[in-house]
Structures are given as structure tokens and as C-alpha cells.
Amino acid sequence: MATATSLPDKLEEGSVKSKRSVQSERVLQAFHAELQMMDQEDELKRIEFARKQEEANSKLRKLKLTKQFNERMAELEGSRDDIEYSETHSVKLDLPEEKMEDSIQRYLQSQDSVAQQSPQQSRSDVTPVYESNGLQRVAESLAEVARSMAIQSASSQQVAVTSQLPHIDLPVFSGDPLQYPLWKNAFVSLVDRNPVDHPTKLHYLNNSVAGAPKRLVQHYLLLGTEDAYHKACGALAERYGSQSVVSAAFTKKLNSWPRISNQDSTGLRDFADFLNQVEAAKVTISTLNILDFPQENVKMLEKLPAYLARKWRDEVDRWQRRGLGSYPTFSRFAEFVNDAARKASIPELECLKNQESRPRQFPAGNKGFAGKSLSTRAFNGGQQGKFSSCPFCNEKHHLDECKEFAKKPHPLRKHFFFQKKLCMGCGSDDSHQVKDCPQRKTCKECQGRHLTCLHRPQNREYEGSSKCTTSVPYQTRTGKNTA
């Protein structure tokens, strides 16, 4: 029975001992950590005390030098007074009067002369050297020291501030000449200006390029020298950063820019932002000045909506009337597009875009299409700009299949498209024009890229009324005149 009671006691005693040992270890660790902290504090205090002691010693040395200089100046002043007294009370000597600058310079030069003088050489044999710019040299030296200290302090402060800023990832250049200036500025700021060796810079350069630029840099990476680094940077600048290459890239992107529709405010803003980028590049790339020519401006004008092209015509007229030149500059054109993009992107007026995209109602006074000015759009899911039924007769068929519309003369059919602002490529949408039509139909008569209802007859029997709205008599093949 005693054995049964002693076993739990032993287990409990062992558990208590283990807990005590764990607590002892924790206390010991805390004690060591506190000792380390105290040692660190003592080390910091020692460093601070050494720094203060060094500053005090420096001040003491400066004071001693200043005191010695003042004592020497006092001796020079006393010797001058003695000379003046001797000139007054004894034999008058014709000696030139010594200036203060010459005295100081003579003192500075005499130190070297005394150090080089032999013990047997008499003091009278030492000839002082006078230079009028001695004080100026001392002042320049002190100013140079002050500038060096200021630069070092600014550099230390910049390093301290930079270490607290978030990390900036180095961009990767893939060969687009338009992105080369931005990439180069980032690489110079983050890598090239840092005090690291050139082989390391070359490795950073290799990691920040891709594609064709990387293959170009890898050739120099095998060398790993300072000259190889500079040659790699020069090769990239020659291939992707030259004025001709960047200018050609800007011009190519301008020419390939898609045409902007009337309601595309986002596209207009993107085009304005790109024009701002081109204008900024014109400051350093002189070949972009070709964009100031009217021929190049007309190419850019074709990218704008029709209403902006009309406004630009008025701007050109005002420009010429004010005598500012024969044609507005590229900067003025960029400013014009930016103003238009800002007005088109007013958030409070976004709701008006859908209303502006709806087609105008057909005039009631036109007898040829009376009563056929509207068409329903109830079956297209509420999509604006697209007709779900025939816009001429409101029946459930396409305009190109409307027999009533096909009976109308060809000029009146074209006039209907202009009145309704319908696309001549698909005939079912008024939100775009035939140039931007994604669903252009094919003519069943001639297989051309237009609607069948717009096919012009070969005999052109309606040619007499194609350019006017009144009835004009024309002569048939039989020679008879009809009215």
C-alpha cells in the first residue's frame, strides 16, 4: 500500500521539478537578455562619450591655434610699434611700410623657412617670401573644406532618408523605343548613381532588360569590365534611344491610332494623353518638330470625331486671323484635344451620352418618308444605337430586305441614310459609321462591300435627281424628254 501511494508522489515531484527548471531557464534567458541590453547601452554611451571627447579635443586644438595666431599677431604689432618709435626718436630709416596681409603671409612663410634653416645659419640670412594672395588662398581652402563638409552632410542625410522610403522595383525594358527614356531614367536613379562596382551594375542591367535588349547586353556580360558596362549602355542607347528611332516610333503610333467615335470620351482622353507624351518628347527630340507641319496635323485630325474636326477648322481660322502664323503648332493642337477631352469627360454629364447617341426623328415635312421616322428598339435588350426592326416601315425585317424602301429612288434612299445617320455598312446601327462598322454586309447585285439597297443601277436612271431635290427632266435612250 505504501508503494502505491509513493508513485504518484514521485510523479508529482518530478513534474514540479521540471516546471521549476523551465522557469529557471526562462529567468536565466531574461537575465542574459537584460545583460546584453545593458552592454549595448554601455557601448552606445561609450561611443557617444568618445564622440564628445573628440569634438572637445577638436575645439581645444582650434582654440590653441587661434591663441598662437593672436600671440604672433601681437608680436608683429609690437615690432611695428618699436619700429615706429625708433623712426621718431632715433635715426630715420627709409623702409617700406608693411601691410597687414604681408605680415600674416610672412608669418606663414617663415614657418617653412625656420624648419629648413640649419643650426649654424644665422637668422639674418633667412629672407622672408611675400605673396599678396596668401590670405586669399587660406580663405579659398577654408571655403573648400566647408563645401566638402556640406556635401558630405547632404549625402548622409539623403542616404538616411532613402533608407526609410519603400523599395522601388526596377522596370524591365523589352525593346519599345517609347518606353526607353522612362526606363533609362529609372535605371540611372536606382543603379547607375549608386557607389557599386561596374560588374555589379552590368548584372543589374542584364536583369532589367528582356527580349532583344537582353540578347544585346549578354554579349558584354561575358566580359564583366567597366568598359563593357559603358559599351552595353551605349549600344542600348544607340539602338533604342536615338532621336530617329524614338521619333519614328511616335509617328508610327500616331498614324496607327484608331479613329475616335463621337461618344468615345475614354478614347479621346487616351489620345490626349499620348499627345501630351509626344509634346514632352519634342523638347529633347528635334525630329518630332515635323508634327508642326499642316500635312502631319491633317493625319492626326482624321483620328478625331467629326464635330471636333469642324471646331478645329474654326480654331485654324482664328489663328490665322490673329496673325500667329500660317497654321497652328502641334502644341496648340494638343491643347485643343486636351480641352475637348476634359469637356467630354465631365462626370455629371455622363447621363447625357445615351441621349446624344439616339437618332434624330425624321422631319415630318419630307413627303417621301412621312410617317416612317421612328422604329422600335424593344427587342434588342435596351441596347442603344441598334435597330431591332426596319427603320423605314417598322416591320420585323432588315432595312436591306424592305421592299417598300427598295421602291424608292436611289438618291432618296441615300438621303434616308443621311437623315437617320445610319451606318451604310450594316444599315441597322446609328452609333458608328461605315469606316468603323464591324458587320459590313455584301451587296447581292455586285458583291461589293455595301448594302444591296444602296446598289446604284447601271443605267443611272435617277442620276438627274441625285444632286438636287426638285424634279429635273432628263432624256431617255429613245430621245424623249420626260418631266
Tens-binned pLDDT, residue by residue, of the chain (483 aa):
444 456 667 677 777 777 777 777 888 888 888 888 888 888 888 888 888 888 888 888 888 888 888 887 777 776 655 555 544 554 444 555 556 566 666 655 655 554 454 444 444 444 444 444 666 777 777 778 878 777 777 767 766 666 666 777 888 999 899 888 889 888 988 888 888 888 888 888 989 999 999 998 888 888 888 899 999 999 999 999 888 898 899 999 999 899 998 888 889 999 999 999 999 988 888 888 999 999 999 999 999 998 999 999 999 999 888 887 788 999 999 999 999 999 888 877 766 655 554 444 444 444 444 444 444 443 333 334 566 678 888 777 888 888 888 888 888 888 888 887 788 888 777 777 777 787 788 888 787 777 888 887 765 444 444 444 444 343 433 344 443
Q: Are residues 339 and 416 in the same domain?
A: no
Distance CA 112, CA 268 (A): 78
Q: Are residues 351 and 412 in the same domain?
A: no
Residue 447 lies in a domain: yes
Residue 105 lies in a domain: no
* Cβ neighbours for 117, distance < 8 A, ≥ 6 positions apart: 123, 125, 126
Q: Are residues 270 and 337 in the same domain?
A: yes
Residue 378 lies in a domain: no
The predicted structure's pLDDT at residue 361: 47
The predicted structure's pLDDT at residue 134: 62
The predicted structure's pLDDT at residue 273: 94
428 and 457 in contact (C-beta within 8 Å)? no
Q: Are residues 344 and 408 in the same domain?
A: no
Q: What are phi and psi of 209, to 5 degrees?
A: -130, 160
Q: Are residues 348 and 266 in the same domain?
A: yes
Residue 313 lies in a domain: yes
The predicted structure's pLDDT at residue 443: 84
Residue 474 lies in a domain: no
Residue 288 lies in a domain: yes
Q: Are residues 279 and 351 in the same domain?
A: yes
Q: Are residues 205 and 260 in the same domain?
A: no
Residue 220 lies in a domain: yes
Q: Are residues 236 and 261 in the same domain?
A: no
Distance CA 370, CA 375 (A): 13
The predicted structure's pLDDT at residue 360: 47
* Cβ neighbours for 132, distance < 8 A, ≥ 6 positions apart: 101, 102, 105
Q: Are residues 196 and 221 in the same domain?
A: yes
Q: Which residue range forms the structural domain that includes residue 71? A: 43-76
Around 194, how many Cα atoms within 13 Å sit in the side-chain half-sphere? 15
Q: Are residues 236 and 273 in the same domain?
A: no
Check the CA dihedral 241-243-248-251 and report its sign.
Answer: positive
The number of folded domains in the chain is 4
Q: Are residues 231 and 285 in the same domain?
A: no
Residue 122 lies in a domain: no
Q: Are residues 322 and 228 in the same domain?
A: no
Q: Which three cell numbers stand for residue 207?
A: 536583369
Q: Which of 308, 341, 356 delimits the end of a domain? A: 356
